[in-house]
Amino acid sequence: MKTTWNFPPWRNSRGRQYFAVAFLLFAVISPAQAPGGRAGGGGRGNPLSTKQPNLPGNLFTSGSTLARTALRHEWLDIPLGATKLRTWIEYPEGEGKAAVVLVMQYDAGLDDLQRAIADQLALEGFIAVAPDLLSGLGPGGGGYDSFPFPEDAIRASAKMNPAEILRRYRAAYNFASKLPRANGKGASLGCGVGGTYSFRFAAEQPGLSAAVVFYGMPPGEAVMAKIKAPVLGLYGEDDPRIVSTIEPTAEAMKRLGKSYESHVYPHATHFFMTYAVEGENGAAIAQSWPKAIEFLRENTK
């Protein structure tokens, strides 16, 4: 299997312009497949410019997805000791009760791409809760948006103690569980490092109903032993470091009497939810996202 190096998207405007041009050129000249089997090149069906109604917004459509959403959404400051955890919450249509899904941010932080995932979860009928882990840790006491460049945010996130990260996720989850529309069921979902923490959160939060792991690392067996919720793992084949953990994880979870389901998508890479036109990432998104939604619905009834 080949190793594909992926880097988080640039967030400053000039960087986005160059990155967008490079990717558009790549899409035009490459035969990469879009969700639904359409070619990834220019024109109709270009996965860079088309938001599929049943899939999250991609790297290029997430901003417009958020700007155009008709769903109720808000930023809330959740008390967290001496600081406050800035959290994006988006609600499904109507006023009925719904399960809470905690969106665990990927390596680049709580950007538009992650909030577009929250938007899609809300469209699918869940209360999506996406905390900004960098709240209070940025310049001037700000969060993710206060960092001038994404690499600065990534470095700040890398310095965070895992126990502190889990403390922040617990605070967001416990707060959301008490929202008037929360139905008492809850799950976690994350990509990359967010997937790693989604797996770990299943052990840290005894009442969790389900955990979805997009290409995240598993915890150690001692942590797995505390997991009660079923775990769904979704992976790209061209991601050898992560794929090498799947079989040992399945064996350990089975030995411990835990529920673990995994799916590996051919020729998809790490970060396949971010880079839709690389390899067979588009096909992986089209197959894995509905499976994640089906899993969440089944376990949060």
Q: What is the DSSP string of the chain?
A: -------PPP-SHHHHHHHHHHHHHHHHHS-PBPTTS-BSSSSTT-TTT---TTS---TTTHHHHHHH--S-EEEEEEEETTEEEEEEEE--SSS--EEEEEEEP-TT-S-HHHHHHHHHHHHTT-EEEEE-TTTTTSGGG--GGG-SSHHHHHHHHHTS-HHHHHHHHHHHHHHHTTSTTEEEEEEEEEETHHHHHHHHHHHH-TT--EEEEES-----HHHHTT--S-EEEEEEEE-HHHHTTHHHHHHHHHHTT--EEEEEEEEEETTTTT-TTSTTHHHHHHHHHHHHHHHHHHH--
- % the chain with pLDDT above 90: 79
Determine, yes or no, domain membership for 219: yes
Higher pLDDT pick, 188 / 40: 188
Residue 45 — very low, low, confident or very high, per pLDDT cuts 50/70/90? low
User: What confidence score (pLDDT) does residue 194 get?
Assistant: 98
Whether the pLDDT of residue 27 is over 90: the answer is no
Model confidence pLDDT, tens digit, residues 215-244: 999 999 999 999 999 999 999 999 999 999
Determine, yes or no, domain membership for 50: no
Determine, yes or no, domain membership for 294: yes
Mean model confidence pLDDT for the chain: 87
- What is the mean pLDDT of the segment spanning 7-21? 40
Determine, yes or no, domain membership for 178: yes
Determine, yes or no, domain membership for 13: no
Q: What is the value of pTM for the model shown?
A: 0.85
Determine, yes or no, domain membership for 10: no
Domain interval for residue 167: 70-299
User: What confidence score (pLDDT) does residue 59 get?
Assistant: 86
User: What confidence score (pLDDT) does residue 34 get?
Assistant: 37
Residue 1 — very low, low, confident or very high, per pLDDT cuts 50/70/90? very low
- Number of domains composing the chain: 1
Residue 276 — very low, low, confident or very high, per pLDDT cuts 50/70/90? confident
Determine, yes or no, domain membership for 161: yes
Give the least confident one: 6-20, 49-63, 93-107: 6-20
User: What confidence score (pLDDT) does residue 49 get?
Assistant: 78
User: What confidence score (pLDDT) does residue 47 get?
Assistant: 60
Residue with tokens 């988080």: 8
Give the least confident one: 9-18, 61-70, 105-114, 148-157: 9-18
CATH code of 116's domain: 3.40.50.1820
Higher pLDDT pick, 275 / 256: 256
User: What confidence score (pLDDT) does residue 40 get?
Assistant: 34
Determine, yes or no, domain membership for 221: yes
